[in-house]
Amino acid sequence: MNNDLIERLFRFSVEVIVFLRDIKKNQETGIIKYQLIKSSTSSGANYEESQAASSKADFTNKVSISLKEMRESNYWLRIIKASDIYKSEKLNELISESSELKKILGAIYTKARKNK
């Protein structure tokens, strides 16, 4: 499962980057795009780092950061939708995927905390 999740987080990051290329840049969208790229790529990067954690506490910390970053990604995607910045089926897919990834990362984090 870990390799599947690593790949899924990687794909999510790439899909967000590609999706954002279609949104015209202005003052407001520039900030949103920047924040969303940071959070979506950080989630995958931190989970990737968790796989080489030096301790259970380190693993739990990295997964926690990954979860927080995915929550932020979901937030920015919902902002794009709610503010009518851009409408597309891809946006809905990304919102759905970020919600699912939040649940998966949340379950991993909860289990890791219990096993400390």
Domain map of the chain by residue range? 2-114
The answer to whether the Cα torsion of 34, 110, 95, 71 is positive or negative is negative
**How far, in Å, CA of 105 to CA of 58, rounded?**
15
Q: Which residue stretches of the chain have pLDDT < 50?
A: none
The pTM of the full predicted model, rounded to 2 decimals, is 0.94
CATH code: domain 2-114 is 1.20.1440.60
According to the model, what pLDDT value does residue 12 have? 98
According to the model, what pLDDT value does residue 3 have? 80
- What radius of gyration, in Å, describes the C-alpha atoms of the chain? 15
According to the model, what pLDDT value does residue 116 have? 65
**How far, in Å, CA of 112 to CA of 92, rounded?**
30
